[in-house]
């Protein structure tokens, strides 16, 4: 079992960050590697169980299912149904926590999955850095206080 | 039931914060409100059920019991057993989490309790401010090194080391006077410890750029001899001075900024221009990439925002910045025309996204550009050559085009005639990287954009020349002789 953990601090209130990322269909807006996304079967994007079907900028399609969504905890859990990455039993959770000191947000993104032996490091790196950290960096840019 | 929550970010690794907080009996060392704490019945402070019996500075005596302790989750929970303050059923939890972005620590301290009616607000404020806020600020100050603790306490071992006061021996390339490559001579030097806002770095790779030649010859007045040239390097932080946040000893970092002084193995410099390197960007890549990559970033995304379908002309398309401009402009959907000096360089440029490499000797590229654009000219031209080349570039520019002069390798960019611009409604820019990177937030944004494209393999940074620090003169000869392709690095 590979575990990936990435966390960051976003200089914006948690509610504002949550409003920006809550939409399960909004990955293209804030995750740099994602080009376009749609929700299958015409379901609302906050219906638990819905499936997002998105394409990556470097090519490839991923299908992910929403397993849990909490407007109270500011958290979202989802699994990968299909992807070209070669991950098995992939479940990830994105969670925001308000930082009372400075009205900022502590953002955490965890993923657990299995894969072919020998690919653990490469996949952990591409998920942790290539996707999660890159998305955090983008969020910081998008939500940075206007100067 | 009042609930008090405080959370903050501490600029120290989680191990260091945990080392300071874990000992259930050590709060009299760090919390300003606590004196004389002891664990009852001779138990260990990390034994579940242990009771700490302590006094506050105002004289109140309290007993608190450890309920959970987890080195795995960096968390502990405790309750109040006896207190003269009416906090009934008080249970508090401290949790630390790693901020992987910057090696910092998120600290969450929360509790719930009951109070006699009417005292909720007052007691919640007291717990939040006098206990949690005060404690958090004390730990922050402790880990920032402004308070010293008795050295005997073993729990302090994880505390971040501060700058040692000793100068360190080092090797640096020093020029005694402006002149040719032969002026680049290695000397033994001594590097002072970092002052406020500074960091000391052990450098592992140094980027060589054409600007270093201007500095050496005195064409750019950035170095008064004797001095050390160089704008760009990567390495590891040895120690940091007072007031430095976000950069810790041991961090891998890189920079591309004035003042000059990068041609050395150990350097003390301002910390706010340092970028912490992601794990997947190695030192040599960073040293080869920071200045040239961020140059490509501002040229293509800021000075001019290249759009899909535009035609871009890149001079010196096989050079360090040129190859990056070709790859990135191609990625943005532009048609890329490049000028190069030889067939080999044309091949290299083509491999890096240049659609139409033009081999030319002396500025005879205009006709080729016009042919390639069916007489229109290029929408944006990146000219790092300067001199007479700029006039040729203007001839190759499309109507309403943008001529960007970003370097003067072939001679000064002469005064430009604004009247002449009107013949093409042209825009002319003469940007300088360091104006774009002066703000640390912008710098981090630009470097992150570059690293992101390296990670996605949009940008490849071929390091074709590697020299020892002692052979810096040879590196300059090759660069000035137009004998290099891709990036050049010095390895101390």
pLDDT at B161: 42
Interface with chain B: mutation pick from A7, A32, A93, A123, highest number of B CBs within 10 Å: A7
SS3 B286: helix
B100, A104: Cβ pair inside 8 Å?
no
Residue A144 has pLDDT above 90, yes or no: no
A100:B456 CB<8 A: no
Can you give the pLDDT at residue B362? 58
Find which of B10, B11, B14, B106 to mutate to test the A interface (most A CBs within 10 Å of its CB).
B106
- The H or E element spanning position B344 is helix B343-351
| Structure tokens given for B55 | 């006094």
What residues of B are in contact with residue A98 (Cβ under 8 Å)? Answer: 7
Task: Supply φ then ψ for residue B137, to 5 degrees.
Answer: -65, -35
- C-alpha B9/C-alpha B231 separation (Å) is 32
Q: Is A85 on the interface with B (CB under 8 A)?
A: no
Nearest CA in chain A to B107: A99
pLDDT tens-digit series, residues A18-57: 999 999 999 999 998 899 999 998 889 999 999 999 999 9
Residue of B nearest to A135 (CA): B452
Tell me which chain A residue has its CA closest to the CA of residue B97: A7
Biggest CA-to-CA distance, chain A: 48
Instruction: Tell me the sheet residues that pair with A98.
Output: A105
> Length of chain B, please?
492
CA-based nearest distance B457→chain A, Å: 10
Residue B50: both structure tokens together: 């242990």
Q: What is the mean pLDDT of chain A?
A: 92
Q: How far does the CA of residue B82 sit from the closest CA of chain A (Å)?
A: 29
Instruction: List the Cα angle B297/B472/B257 in 5-degree steps.
Output: 35
The answer to whether the Cβ–Cβ distance between B99 and A141 falls below 8 Å is no
Alpha helix segments (H runs only) across B71-133: 120-125
- Tens digits of pLDDT across chain B (492 residues): 899 999 999 988 888 898 889 889 989 888 999 988 999 988 888 888 999 999 988 888 999 999 998 888 899 999 999 999 999 999 999 999 999 888 899 999 999 999 999 999 999 999 999 999 999 999 998 887 533 333 333 332 233 344 456 788 889 999 999 999 999 999 999 899 899 999 999 999 999 998 899 999 998 889 999 999 999 999 998 888 888 877 887 789 999 999 999 999 999 999 999 998 988 889 999 999 999 999 999 999 999 999 999 999 999 998 889 999 999 999 999 999 999 989 999 999 999 999 999 998 655 899 999 999 999 999 999 999 888 889 899 999 999 999 999 988 777 777 677 888 889 999 999 999 999 999 888 998 999 999 999 988 899 888 889 999 999 999 999 998 887 877 899 999
Q: Which chain A residues are closer than 8 Å to B99 by Cβ?
A: 7-9, 106
List of chain A residues whose C-beta atoms are within 8 Å of the C-beta of residue B108:
97
Q: For position A68, what pLDDT does the model report? A: 92
Whether omega before B226 lies within 30 degrees of 0, making that bond cis, reads: yes
A106–B279 CB contact, under 8 Å: no
Buried b (16+ CB within 10 A) or exposed e, B86-112: ebeebebebbbbbbbbbbbbbbbbbbe
CB contact (8 A) between residue A33 and residue B445: no
- Which residues of chain B are within 8 Å of residue A136 when distances are taken between CB atoms? 101
Look at residue B147 in the predicted model and tell me its pLDDT: 37
**Between B5, B102, B278, which is nearest A100 by CB?**
B5
Shortest Cα distance, chain B CAs vs residue A100, angstroms: 5
> How close A82 comes to chain B (CA, Å)?
21
CB contact A58 to B (< 8 Å) = yes
Chain B hits for A129, CB-CB cut-off 8 Å, are 278-280, 455
Which tokens sit at B467? 């020299």
pLDDT at B441: 86
Is the minimum CB–CB distance between A95 and chain B shorter than 8 Å? no
Identity of the residue in B101, B278, B452 whose CB atom sits nearest the CB atom of A8: B101
Does A131 touch chain B if contact means CB atoms closer than 8 Å? no
- Inter-chain CB proximity A106 and B445 less than 8 Å: no
**Ordered domains of chain B (ranges, CATH):** 3-160 (3.30.530.20), 163-290+440-491 (3.90.180.10), 308-430 (3.40.50.720)
Q: What is the pLDDT of residue B363?
A: 57
Q: Which residues pair with B188 in a beta bridge?
A: B171
Mutation to test the A interface, candidates B97, B100, B134, B276, most A Cβ within 10 Å: B100
A83 burial class (0-12, 13-18, 19+ CB within 10 angstroms)?
A: middle
Which pLDDT value is given to residue B415? 66
Contacts of B6 in chain A (CB under 8 A): 100-101
Give the Cα separation of B216 and B181 in Å (integer). Answer: 8
The answer to whether the Cβ–Cβ distance between B101 and A108 falls below 8 Å is no
pLDDT of amino acid B482: 80
Pair type for strands B311-314 and B378-383: parallel
DSSP-derived secondary structure letter, B106 = E
Q: What is the pLDDT of residue B6?
A: 96
Determine contact, residues A7/B7, Cβ cutoff 8 Å. Answer: no
pLDDT greater than 50 at residue A146: yes
């Amino acid at each position: 079992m590979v575990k990936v953990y990435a966390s960051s601090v976003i200089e914006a209130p948690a509610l504002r960050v949550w409003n920006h990322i809550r939409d399960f269909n909004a990955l293209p807006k804030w995750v740099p590697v994602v080009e376009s996304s749609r929700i299958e079967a015409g379901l609302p994007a906050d219906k638990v169980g819905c499936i997002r079907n998105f394409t990556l900028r470097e090519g490839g399609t991923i299908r992910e299912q929403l397993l849990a969504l909490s407007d109270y905890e500011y958290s979202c859990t989802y699994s990968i149904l299909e992807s070209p990455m070669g991950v098995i039993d992939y479940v990830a959770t994105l969670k925001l926590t308000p930082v009372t000191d400075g009205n900022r947000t502590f953002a955490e993104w965890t993923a657990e999955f299995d894969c072919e032996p020998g690919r653990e490091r490469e996949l952990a790196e591409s998920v942790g850095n290539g996707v999660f950290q890159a998305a955090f960096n983008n969020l910081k840019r998008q939500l940075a206080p206007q100067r | 039931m009042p609930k008090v929550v405080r959370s903050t970010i501490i600029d120290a690794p989680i191990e260091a914060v945990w080392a300071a907080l874990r000992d259930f009996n050590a709060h009299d060392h760090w919390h300003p409100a606590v004196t004389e704490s002891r664990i009852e019945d001779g138990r260990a402070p990390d034994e579940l059920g242990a009771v700490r019996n302590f006094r506050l500075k105002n004289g109140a005596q309290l007993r608190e019991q450890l309920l959970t302790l987890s080195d795995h989750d960096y968390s502990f929970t405790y309750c109040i057993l006896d207190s003269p303050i009416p906090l009934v059923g008080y249970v508090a939890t401290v949790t630390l989490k790693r901020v992987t972005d910057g090696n910092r620590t998120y600290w969450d301290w929360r509790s719930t309790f009951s109070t006699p009616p009417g005292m909720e607000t007052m007691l919640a404020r007291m717990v939040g401010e006098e206990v949690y806020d005060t404690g958090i600020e004390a730990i922050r100050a402790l880990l920032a090194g402004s308070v010293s603790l008795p050295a005997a306490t073993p729990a302090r071992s994880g505390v971040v080391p501060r700058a040692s006061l000793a100068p360190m021996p080092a090797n640096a390339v020093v020029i005694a006077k402006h002149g040719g490559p032969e002026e680049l001579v290695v000397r033994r030097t001594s590097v002072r410890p970092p002052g406020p806002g500074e960091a000391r770095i052990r450098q592992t790779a140094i980027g060589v750029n054409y600007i270093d030649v201007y500095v050496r010859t005195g064409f750019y007045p950035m170095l008064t001899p004797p001095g050390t040239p160089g704008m760009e390097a990567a390495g590891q932080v040895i120690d940091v001075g007072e007031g430095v946040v976000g950069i810790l000893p041991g961090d891998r970092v890189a920079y591309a900024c004035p003042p000059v002084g990068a041609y050395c193995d150990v350097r003390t410099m301002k910390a706010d221009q340092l970028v912490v390197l992601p794990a997947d960007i190695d030192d040599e890549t960073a040293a080869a990439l920071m200045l040239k990559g961020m140059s490509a970033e501002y040229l293509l995304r800021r000075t001019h925002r290249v759009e899909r379908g535009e035609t871009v002309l890149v001079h010196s398309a096989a050079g360090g910045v040129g190859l990056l401009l070709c790859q990135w402009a191609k990625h943005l959907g532009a048609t890329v025309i490049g000028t190069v000096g030889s067939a080999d360089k044309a091949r290299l440029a083509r491999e890096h996204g240049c659609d139409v490499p033009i081999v030319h000797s002396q500025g005879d590229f205009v006709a080729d550009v016009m042919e390639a654009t069916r007489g229109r000219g290029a929408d944006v031209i990146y000219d790092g050559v300067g001199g007479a080349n700029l006039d040729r570039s203007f001839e190759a520019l499309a109507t309403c085009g943008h001529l960007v002069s970003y370097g003067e390798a072939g001679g000064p960019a002469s005064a430009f005639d604004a009247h002449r611009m009107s013949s093409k409604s042209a825009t002319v820019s003469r940007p300088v990287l360091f104006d774009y990177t002066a703000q640390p937030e912008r710098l981090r944004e630009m470097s992150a954009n570059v690293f992101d494209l390296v990670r996605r393999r949009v940008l490849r940074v071929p390091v074709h020349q590697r020299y020892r620090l002692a052979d810096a003169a040879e590196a300059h000869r090759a660069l000035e002789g137009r004998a290099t392709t891709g990036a050049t690095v010095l390895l101390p």
